[in-house]
Amino acid sequence: MSQENEHVKCLIIGSGPAGYTAAIYAARADLRPVLYTGIVPGGQLTQTTDVENFPGYPDGVQGQQMMEDFRKQAERFGTDIRFGYITSVDFSGDVHKVVVDGEKTVTAETVIIATGATAKWLGLESEQKYNGFGVSACAVCDGFFFRKQDVAIVGAGDTAAEEATYLAKLANKVHMLVRRDDFRASKAMQHRVLNTPNIEIHYSTEAKEIVGDGQNVTGVLVYNNQTLEEKLIPVTGFFVAIGHKPNTELFQDILDMDTNGYLITKSGSTRTNIDGVFACGDVQDHIYRQAVTAAGSGCMAALEAERYLAAKEHAIA
């Protein structure tokens, strides 16, 4: 049975670039934020090796190290960072309630949601084995490492088409694996892919196994689901572009979401449909999905939480 034994001004759920940045700003505004990390402290970036596109790291940085730097900075300003998982929420009253690890109830005047999103994977064992060593779910993040090399990308929607054309500018050749005999992408995106000379489309083709030398990817074993023929395509990079799943199950039927489960925020804001509840980072951004944009929206969420509390205190006074 949960016991209500703590009240905070600002509660942050999630610990990626958005959550930690929100914590830095909230702490500097003297909101004394409490941050619960979730199951994966640091979020998706901790699954990444080199990060070379975040400002302030001219020589690049390991994703795990960057999140450690964010955490230390948030703590330096007084953020109370705790390892824990929010198991339920109640946003029905003026004061918001959350239950941590099914046991402890915390009430909060403001809540900043930064639970992020999780890349959808194919489910291959070799996919996880080489994740960060040739396997990636973000062409914009990692395409640079495969300049003038041959790569493969899995997917048939607009995101896959966009990432394939992005990779084509860097790579020698892009093998696009499309499971069906046609694209799901919009006509405009299909046209762009079909008119990019170094993209080879493999229709009715699925990845059976990612092949490597024990350290890095060296190829992908594919099979044609029409003819059942198998073949090995030599590549050094393997990109998965079959979508992301926002971590929003906790907020079903409570916060407004789009058809894919991303939290909906007011235009130009991080405000949700419930006063005092804000959302930032990949949990509400299905367009950019970059560490720097997540951090920017984390800053916005903290500033809006601060203004919300100031307006509330002024109204009471």
Backbone angles phi, psi at 237, to 5 degrees: -130, 140
Cα–Cα distance between 288 and 165 in angstroms, integer?
16
DSSP-derived secondary structure for 246-304? ES-GGGTTTS-B-TTSPBP--TTS-B-SSTTEEE-GGGT-SS---HHHHHHHHHHHHHH
Task: Decide if 299 is catalytic.
Answer: no
What residues does 293 pair with on adjacent strands?
none
Q: How far apart are CA 277 and CA 13, in angstroms?
A: 11
CA distance 234 to 219: 4
Asked if residues 19 and 34 have their Cβ atoms less than 8 Å apart, the reply is no
Annotated catalytic residue 280 = no
Compute the Cα dihedral for 239, 290, 16, 313 and give only its sign.
negative
Distance, CA of 230 to CA of 224 (rounded, Å):
7
| CA-based radius of gyration for the chain | 22
Spot the catalytic one: 141, 150, 282, 285: 141
Phi/psi for 177 (5° steps) reads: -95, 115
Give me the catalytic one of 142, 150, 282, 285.
142
Structure tokens that stand for 310 in this block? 């100031």
Q: Active-site residue 10, yes or no? A: no
Question: Locate tokens 């007011």: which residue?
Answer: 266
Class of residue 251 by CB neighbours under 10 A (exposed 0-12, middle 13-18, buried 19+): buried
Angle between helices 63-76 and 17-28 (to 10 degrees): 20
Active-site entry in 50, 69, 138, 256: 138
Name the DSSP class of 131.
B
Dist CA 51 CA 291 (whole Å):
9
Residues with a known catalytic role: 138, 141-142
